[in-house]
Structure 1
Amino acid sequence: MSFFKTRKHYFQPVREDGKVETIPFLKAAADCTIPFLDILGPKAFYVVKTDINGNVTKLTKKYEMDPVNNSTLQGLVEGEVANNSALKGGSGTETLIWLKRALQFIRGMFVNLLNGVNDGENLIPCAAKSYESYLKPYHGWMVQKVFGLVTKAMPYRRDLLKAMGNGQDEETVINDMKEFLVLFGQNLDAVVEMYQSKNIDKEFKV
């Protein structure tokens, strides 16, 4: 089975009320992206991997402080907005924004690969375009330089698909990727919509 069929945790359907359950989202975020970054290159993508892992840990602790009100990501953010702590450094709202952006970056790479943004076997354009869209607007000059090196460390397309295939052919891996992106995308879109409705997505930069 391919990488996409061997995860312990997967993104779950968004609830009918449009809310995303906190713990299933965080478990899937860690289990579906950190191993993928290891495939891309554990050293080159260490900064992204560490960022995701750290933010998942912080948000899990936020959840544990109030499991009832923080049972959904929307509930967590709305609670902080209500008590005027959302825009403070280290808030769950800020932490989730950075996790969202990192996940959008990864999702963007998958989508760009499926859409043929790559230059033949060269996947650098897939990573570079996704970075330009989802992370670069919030990064200062120094961080942009670091990520410029990160995106250039992308493996060749055939090597990536082989590593993710676990013996499966490329067509199977691509089909599994498309299936995985459905719920991944639905979850991310729900979080994006929440931040856009509150007009606070652009508040945090580094």
Structure 2
Amino acid sequence: MKELQVKKKRKSEDKEEEVLRLKRRWREEEEGVPDVTFIIEQLSLKRSEGKIPTAAFLRVSSLLLHVIDQIGPTMVVLREDIRRNIQRLESSYMADPLANSCLAEIIKKEVDAGAARAGESSSRAVLWLTRSMDFSVALVEGLEGDPEASLERLVEEAYETTLKPWHGWISTAAYKVALKLVPHRRKLVELVVGEGEDSDSLKGGIRTLVSLLRPLLSEIHVLLGESRLDRLKSA
């Protein structure tokens, strides 16, 4: 009995320590860009173990949110959607970082409880964050692949292939309005590759991150498909 109590106490202390560590790191990043190097390391390490790490997934989502924040009010619909889903998934993760260290565990628990399809579920948050990353990767690759294309065209093409199939008429209408307010291409290029850089020379960190995201996103889509969550749509 005493040994069991010691184990429980140690587990509780480990959980508290992990929460504090994460809060410290995330507080340090609060006013700046999330650490791309840290994200890449975490994705590489955990994927080699056959896991999709919740912490790294949240940091990638925060990186995406930071870039979209800088673009301005034109992307308010996507920005608020990403922010809301980050908060929802982060809440579940921080409740027990050790037990919820990978996305599969979070989704499995909700599927088993019959709660995965609920409007405020963490599983839905994972689904829409993944789709937002699909959109962002398509947009960044468009920037790199077609130096002459306007940002409005690239955003529209990325939206058509990644988000539109899952949006109802309300969401689609909101995005059509947003497309009319997309800033000049140069604005986004400076955010992604840095001021004064050419769109053909994406920073190594971003390029590596995108190369890791592609297979990672494919894995998450498989996970969502196995849980029959991949066909869910919005209003």
The structure 2 residue matched to 1:128, chosen from 156, 160, 166, is: 156
Mapped pair 1:139 → 2:167: yes
Mapped pair 1:35 → 2:62: no
Partners of 1:18 and 1:153 in 2: CA distance? 41
Mapped pair 1:111 → 2:148: no
Letter in 1 for 2:111: V
Higher relative contact order structure (alpha carbons within 8 Å, sequence separation ≥ 6) = 1
The structure 2 residue matched to 1:24, chosen from 45, 48, 56, is: 56
Extract structure 1 runs of 4+ deviating beyond 4 A.
none
The structure 1 residue matched to 2:209, chosen from 159, 180, 202, is: 180
Counterparts of 1:1-206 in structure 2, within 5 Å, are 7-9=34-36, 10-11=39-40, 12-13=43-44, 14-30=46-62, 32-40=63-71, 42-116=72-146, 120-170=148-198, 173-176=201-204, 177-206=206-235
Letter in 2 for 1:108: A
Higher helix share: 2
Tell me the percent identity: 23
Larger Rg: 2
With normalisation by structure 1, the TM-score equals 0.83
Which stretches in structure 1 are left out of the alignment for 5+ residues? 1-5
2:193·2:201 contact (CA, 8 Å) conserved in 1?
yes
Letter in 2 for 1:162: E
Once the two structures are TM-superposed, the CA of residue 121 in structure 1 deviates from its matched residue by 4.6
Partners of 2:191 and 2:97 in 1: CA distance? 38
Once the two structures are TM-superposed, the CA of residue 57 in structure 1 deviates from its matched residue by 1.0
Q: CA RMSD in A?
A: 2.3
Q: Secondary structure at the match of 2:97?
A: coil
Partners of 1:150 and 1:25 in 2: CA distance? 26
2:193·2:202 contact (CA, 8 Å) conserved in 1?
no
- Segment drifting more, 88-97 vs 150-159: 150-159
2:167·2:233 contact (CA, 8 Å) conserved in 1?
no
Once the two structures are TM-superposed, the CA of residue 58 in structure 1 deviates from its matched residue by 0.8
Once the two structures are TM-superposed, the CA of residue 64 in structure 1 deviates from its matched residue by 2.5
CA displacement 1:123-173 (0-9 Å, x = unmatched): 222111111122112222122111012233333333432344444521674
- Segment drifting more, 190-199 vs 70-79: 190-199
1:164·1:173 contact (CA, 8 Å) conserved in 2?
no
Q: Secondary structure at the match of 1:170?
A: coil
Partners of 1:28 and 1:140 in 2: CA distance? 26
With normalisation by structure 2, the TM-score equals 0.74
- 193 and 168 in structure 1: CA distance in 2 versus 1, 3 angstrom threshold: farther
2:52·2:216 contact (CA, 8 Å) conserved in 1?
yes
